[in-house]
Amino acid sequence: MYRKITALILILPLLLTGCWDRQELNDQAIVLGWGMDLEKEGVYLATANLVLPLASKSGGQQGGEQGGRSGFMTESAYGKNNRDAEQNMQRKLSRVIFPGHRRNIFIGEKLAEHGVFSILDEYGRSPMVRPRTNIFVVKEGTAQDAMSLAYQLETNPAIAVQKIQEKSGAPISRSLLDFYIMANGTGCGIMPALMILPPEVKMDKKSKNDSPPQTTLSLYGAAIFNSQLKLAGYLNHNEYWVRLWITDQLTGWNFTTIVNAIDADQPGGAAADALSGATSSQAVTVNVDTFKSQITPVFDGELPRFRIRLQGKGYIEENDSPLNLSKTENIEKVEARMNEYLEERVKEVVKKVQKDFKSDIFGLGDKLHQFHPYRWKKLAADWETVFPDIELDIKVKLNLTGTGVTGESLLPDREGGDK
């Protein structure tokens, strides 16, 4: 009897273990990207990028395809919200939709203008949506357009945009979480923005093996949302770095400016001439890989002002000016000119955000809460109206630590250059 009881105790755990509700991998439709567009009031179009299992088994990839087949498929469905559209989409799929690997969420511009509150609730409530997910606005387009476009270097455009964002010096895999934090803090929000860009120069194939430039996805910058979580406007790629630097999130950037015939006391040329007005034989490019931001709120009365100190370290990566960079004084001239340009550029973007968007995307309210919680409590309710008139004292200090492999150019001295 004792032996029978012992045997039964040993057998029971084997019968009670296991996943009775398991879903085999062959029965799952793995979602890498999800998009939402507004068709009309109360009607949304959901789009999903699904992994093609047959394509993923083949070796190698070329031009966004594997084994001659696209590495993904796109499916869509209408619905009253995310879950309703997903249920309607499921009726067209032979496998169960599995969003656990979803990396990116796309929002069409029309939906962003209408407001994203109506579709973001599910992303914060569902356990199948990872908070560390990227969310993008498609400028001048729809989520379905962006997600249907094959990207040559990757098997899936949902993967491509994440890598593009990473290589652009912006933080990745958390823009959805950051949006929630900002919306519950200062009340506004910010998301990376994409664009569908045609090639700068259109070329026809001369043979089937040619690969001319094609329409592709591009990181435009950032989409700004007001306190109603409606699209207020955009910062383009040459403005977005300002916000990243101020919020201490910028990991790397190249800056190009004109130096002209500068001297140590007067680094000639207006700051507005830099970058967009660069002409041949006058530009210097600096690669900056170390950034630091310090924001300090100061009270002189009822309203605060903020001291913003931006610091960075980098090295000269290209010199098309007549300056001989083997001379220390010439490096100091470039450094002075670059600081002048960067400070002017930062002030322009900050003014645009304050006056045009009226949205505190720089986290100044959070800094005020951190340093002066009781004063913030009095200002929090009116921060949207107070922020546009807040005084900001901005200073930029960029240190150049090197000139690349050589200080003096390997080419002969050009006309007008240092001897």
| Residue 150 clears pLDDT 50, i.e. is over it | yes
d(C-alpha 253, C-alpha 245), whole Å: 10
Within 8 A by CB and 6+ apart from 313, the residues are 288, 289, 290, 398, 399, 400, 401
Within 8 A by CB and 6+ apart from 17, the residues are none
Backbone φ, ψ for residue 55 (5° rounding)? -70, -35
Nearest of 339, 357, 355, 356 to residue 394 by alpha carbon: 339
Which among 60-64, 198-202, 228-232, 263-267 has the top mean pLDDT? Answer: 228-232
d(C-alpha 215, C-alpha 144), whole Å: 15
The full DSSP string for 161-188 is HHHHHHHTT---S-HHHHHHHHHTTTS-
| Residue 311 clears pLDDT 80, i.e. is over it | yes
When comparing pLDDT for 255 and 276, which is higher? 255
Provide mean pLDDT across the span 164-184.
Answer: 79
pLDDT digits (tens, 9 = 90+) for 59-84: 444 444 444 456 788 899 999 998 89
Task: Kindly list the distances between the CA atom of residue 85 and the CA atoms of 27, 191, 336, in Å, as whole numbers in the listed order.
Answer: 20, 23, 56
When comparing pLDDT for 28 and 343, which is higher? 343
pLDDT value of residue 78:
94
pLDDT value of residue 275:
38
| Residue 278 clears pLDDT 60, i.e. is over it | no
pLDDT value of residue 260:
64
Q: Please compute, for residue 130, the number of CA atoms within 13 A of its CA located in the half-sphere on the CB side.
A: 17
Nearest of 307, 309, 275, 318 to residue 291 by alpha carbon: 309
pLDDT value of residue 224:
95
Nearest of 204, 36, 179 to residue 105 by alpha carbon: 36
pTM of the shown model = 0.82
| Residue 266 clears pLDDT 60, i.e. is over it | no
pLDDT digits (tens, 9 = 90+) for 318-365: 888 777 788 888 888 888 889 988 999 999 999 999 999 999 999 999
Provide mean pLDDT across the span 197-212.
Answer: 78
When comparing pLDDT for 154 and 269, which is higher? 154
| Residue 267 clears pLDDT 60, i.e. is over it | no
pLDDT value of residue 87:
92
DSSP 325: T
Within 8 A by CB and 6+ apart from 343, the residues are 271, 394, 395, 396
Residue 9 banded pLDDT, cuts 50, 70, 90 = low
When comparing pLDDT for 56 and 111, which is higher? 111
| Residue 368 clears pLDDT 90, i.e. is over it | yes
pLDDT value of residue 258:
79
| Residue 294 clears pLDDT 80, i.e. is over it | yes
When comparing pLDDT for 221 and 419, which is higher? 221
